[in-house]
Copies of this chain bind each other. A is one copy, B any other.
Amino acid sequence: VTATPVTADVTEANAFARRIAGYKDRVERVLERALSLPDPGTDRLGEAMRYSVLGAGKRLRPTLVYLTGEALGAPLPQLDGPAAAVELIHVYSLVHDDLPAMDDDDLRRGRPTCHRAYDEATAILVGDALQALAFAVLAEESPSGPSAQLRLEMIRVLAAATGTSGMAGGQAVDLAAVGRKLPETAIEDMHRRKTGALIRGSVVLGALAAGVSGGPEFAGLERFGAEIGLAFQIQDDILDVEGDPAVLGKSTGADAAHAKPTYPSTVGLERARLRARELRDTAIGALAPLGHRGAALVQLANFIVNRAS
């Protein structure tokens, strides 16, 4: 880190914020298109899917796809499919995790959760249909873009990040951990699956969509994604303790109320903050093979551990 005048920092931060906002708008349009289903089964199902996906959310995962892909020189349209796919998987997991049988949450992204706004059966189907849609979007025919081989690899990566080795497995560990005290390594493993796998997957998909599937850049990005994914979840745990519900758009204190072991509850807030910064530094270090092309990902890594929502 070199010393730069404060005004330059501010200008740079503003430019980065505009870039992120641009990705957010862009993926919103892609999602809107993907959810203009010719045949949603029932109006209620189609509506509930749109309600759950559109109009809110940080869109961190699509942003990672776009930032990574652009860093490697991919044109934006080539990144739209994977950007939408990772967000669809993310939203499906939120809808299912919020169900009464799971975390039983009433509020999400500042609005009633899907099963509250609609009903439980619809929320189960919304999640199921969003998962199928994610794979459909990724497998879509496209005249340009990565080869069929690379697209199959993208589907393998997304499936692995979604299933037992990733998100679903992590949620199972999470549920099993309720009311128990876990060692720090077990909490890390849980977080790496539950949240980390899809964040890592988003970075990997961005690389694959840019045609990069091996070599030091790819390895560095994989590592970056894995470390930043864990840092993100630790910051999430911290915000659940000390965040502002109005800024977060969801209630805080949920982890404690559910007797869920978290990073702060296991090692304390101070050590949790330290660990998040440590992981950010490792993540940034892993970007070395990209040289100056990694600059925007560095900014995102800083944003992830400094965010208030």
Contact = CB atoms under 8 A, between A and B. Distances in A.
Contact of A171 (B125, B163, B173): B125
Contacts of A148: 147-149, 151-152
B159 A135 contact: yes
Contacts of A290: none
Interface string A157-168: 011101111001
B41 A164 contact: yes
B119 A101 contact: yes
Nearest to A115: B101
A215 interface: no
Given A131-B131, A136-B156, A169 B101 contact: no
Interface string A269-295: 000000000000000000000000000
A247 to B, nearest CB: 29
Interface string A15-59: 000000000000000000000011111101110010000000000
A248 interface: no
A172 B135 contact: no
B155 A139 contact: yes
Contact of A168 (B41, B159, B175): B41
A39 B192 CA distance: 13
- Among A139, A148, A173, the one with the most B-chain Cβ atoms within 10 Å of its Cβ is A139
A246 interface: no
A121 B101 CA distance: 5
A147 B149 CA distance: 9
Contacts of A156: 136, 139-141
Contacts of A124: 96, 99, 101-102, 124
A117 interface: no
Contacts of A133: 159, 163-164
A114 to B, nearest CB: 12
A171 B41 CA distance: 8
A225 interface: no
A37 B175 contact: no
Interface string A128-153: 11011101100111000001110110
A62 interface: no
Most B CB within 10 A of own CB, among A49, A120, A158, A162: A162
List 3 tightest A-B contacts by C-beta distance, closest first: A41-B169, A132-B163, A148-B148
Given A133-B164, A135-B155, A136-B155, 18 more contacts: A40-B172, A41-B165, A41-B168, A41-B169, A41-B170, A41-B173, A45-B168, A96-B124, A96-B125, A102-B121, A122-B175, A125-B168, A127-B128, A128-B163, A129-B164, A139-B155, A139-B156, A141-B152
